[in-house]
Amino acid sequence: MTAPIYVLNGPNLNRLGTREPEIYGSTTLGEVEALCRTAAGDVPVEFRQSNREYEIVDWVHEAIDRPGAGIIINPAAFTFTSIAILDSLKMFPRPIIELHISNIHRREDIYHNSLVSKIATAVIAGLGPKGYGVAVRAMLDLVADAKRR
């Protein structure tokens, strides 16, 4: 069986489609999940969202133990506050792509210091919900490159 790509989403992303559409657009999280599954083709996707920090940490541990092919993570507000998520991601030995729907660097100063960026293989920000498809395709490339080495 092919190792899955984990797509992990942090707090308030369950509100996509209605939450600040001028920033996040009108695409729902269900539509984002469908976009990820389409982009992944035959590669399985573990798509999850939680408002609870500990659940995200547990899912990273699952990706380590299973093992997952890679992690795409939109930690949302936990990007700037969660050392627990950072520490769990530091243990993951395969590619990690940090993803943000908005360009966090064009927003208020509080959004400029990502803890996750410090250990991520790559960062995608500002492409809107379509960034998820870009992230999945990039992850497929990263995983294929790692297999060729």
Give tens-digit pLDDT for 90-102: 999 999 999 999 8
Task: Return the DSSP state at 133.
Answer: H
Which helix (H) or strand (E) segment holds residue 70: the answer is strand 70-74
| pLDDT greater than 80 at residue 149 | no
Q: At what angle do helices 29-40 and 131-148 cross, to 10 degrees?
A: 30
* Contacts with 92 (C-beta within 8 Å, 6 or more apart), sequence order: 60, 63, 64, 68, 71
pLDDT digits (tens, 9 = 90+) for 10-20: 999 999 999 88
pTM of the predicted model as reported, rounded to 2 decimal places = 0.95
Give the amino acid at 109: D
| pLDDT greater than 90 at residue 41 | yes
Point out the residues that are catalytic. Answer: 24, 100
Could you tell me which of 4, 3, 10, 1 has the C-alpha nearest to residue 99?
10
Q: What is the pLDDT of residue 110?
A: 75
Q: How far apart are CA 91 and CA 17, in angstroms?
A: 33
Task: Assign 76 a pLDDT band (cuts: 50, 70, 90).
Answer: very high
